[in-house]
Amino acid sequence: MSQSDPSQYTWAGRFSEPTSELVKRYTASVCFDQRMWRQDIRASLAHATMLARQGIISAADLADIERGMKQVADEIASGVFVWSVDLEDVHLNIEKRLTTLIGDAGKRLHTGRSRNDQVATDIRLFLRDAIDGVDALLGEFQSRLLDLAEREAATPLPGFTHLQVAQPVTLGHHLLAYVEMARRDAERFADCRRRTNRLPLGAAALAGTTYPIDRQYVAELLGFDAVCGNSLDAVSDRDFAIEFCAASALLMMHLSRLSEELVLWMNPRFGFITLADRFCTGSSIMPQKRNPDVPELARGKTGRVFGHLVGLLTLMKGQPLAYNKDNQEDKEPLFDAIDTVTDTLRIFIEMIPGITANAESMRSALRQGFATATDLADYLTRKGLPFRDAHEAVGQAVRRAEERGTDLAQLSLAELRQFSPLIDDDVFAVLTVEGSLAARDHHGATAPRQVRAAIARARSPT
């Protein structure tokens, strides 16, 4: 087994033999944590600025660090930076290159901090940026849903319970349910951001530092709302990552429910919608196929985000205070959750405008499901019949219509009066889909007027 030179490591002074190649590969994280390089450089510059302000390093050292970090950033951004597994992670790779460029000033950068509080800071900065990106995408997602809901505000759609036709709603009203879910998702991510936005830097390895640092100043430079109040907790806390994955799991669950409906509605047995061809694929053997691969895959990707949540909970559940190497395993699930949520929202934002509603197919399904039966029961109740008696009478009428192979509205007045003498000519206005929709005219209900009002409220900045 080949060995590496221990002198390249910042911690090598204690060790009498080099780290094995197997251990280097097993413990290295640079292949995935290098994506935090912007946050690492930003946090290091803030730390250096504070050190110089406190007189811990000189102004000349700060100038050298700023100059060297600019070159490091330029090299990484242009793709010429050489990432080394030998240097384990993004932090040591950047520090090593900085020291190579500017000498002793680079070695002074790490004064008063540890990799423990350094990585905790970087990951919070990274997640904060990611949450801001998700929030913007959620806003755009809601906007696209609202556009489609407005277009279909009065388009009748079967509302289902138990996946059986229940009552008429409008497609616009149905879509607004997902707007409500997305609003709650946005609230959860905003709440997660508040707890993420606390500065661990200054906790050092676990106990703080003997240097006269100013943590509040660093927090101000980096845009943190507060500093972490306990040094042990600061370096070992990963609640914010778990909370992000929990919010992501709920968001993906909502997108999966929408995906399931899109898949069902695309099926010719439903035929409620058509997805634009650019979001479908064909079959290698069946030339007639138009497969809704995007919602199917979104439905499938939901499971991986659920898994990341469980994985992080499991990662943390047995750790004693303070930092443990286990925490290196927090990044890949967190990064993948960020990527999955971000990519899924982006593709839904593009896909939703390409949804075409097939109004006649939805109306046909309403005719098959006795969707206005509850309206007939309410009609009889308003005429003075107790609701339970009305429910029984309408059930008998439905059975008769089912035997005849017709809808309730197609039964004659004479036939309907067999089930209750309270039924009169005005009943047929009640039994229409439009009458059923218009009658549900209160806040949060499905009347087209209320749907349009809900859309207007959702678009209002207040």
The pLDDT tens digits for 133-162 are: 999 999 999 999 999 999 999 999 999 999
pLDDT at 461: 75
3-class secondary structure for 270-328?
CCCEEECHHHCECCCCCCCCCECHHHHHHHHHHHHHHHHHHHHHHHHHCCCCCCCHHHH
pLDDT at 101: 98
Give exposure, 431-458, as e/b (b: 16+ Cβ within 10 Å): bebebbbbbbeeeeebbbebbeebbeeb
pLDDT at 2: 36
Question: What number does CATH give the domain 116-155+169-359?
Answer: 1.20.200.10
Which two structure tokens, joined as six digits, stand for 332? 């890949």
φ, ψ for residue 257 (rounded to 5)? -65, -45
pLDDT at 6: 46
- Classify the C-alpha dihedral 419-422-425-427 as positive or negative: negative
Q: What angle do CA 42, 25, 119 make, to 5 degrees?
A: 25
**Calpha distance 257→250 (Å, rounded):** 11
| Residue of 29, 56, 26 whose CA lies nearest to 40 | 29
| CATH label, 20-110, candidates 3.40.50.720, 1.10.275.10, 1.20.120.450, 3.40.50.300 | 1.10.275.10
**Calpha distance 6→339 (Å, rounded):** 36
Which two structure tokens, joined as six digits, stand for 103? 């000498």
Q: What angle do CA 238, 220, 132 make, to 5 degrees?
A: 55
φ, ψ for residue 10 (rounded to 5)? -70, -20
* Residues with a known catalytic role: 162, 283
HSE, CB side, 13 Å, CA atoms: give it for residue 294.
22
Q: How far is CA 263 from CA 22, 49, 249, in A?
A: 47, 55, 20
Q: Could you identify the residue written with the tokens 């640092």?
A: 213
pLDDT at 9: 55
Whole-angstrom distance between the N-terminal and C-terminal Cα of the chain?
A: 65
**Calpha distance 294→281 (Å, rounded):** 9
The structural domains of the chain, with segments of one domain joined by +, span 20-110, 116-155+169-359, 364-459
* pTM for the full predicted model: 0.92
pLDDT at 419: 95
| CATH label, 364-459, candidates 3.40.50.800, 1.10.8.60, 1.10.40.30, 3.40.50.300 | 1.10.40.30
Parts of the chain with a pLDDT under 50: 1-7
| Residue of 187, 174, 145, 390 whose CA lies nearest to 265 | 174
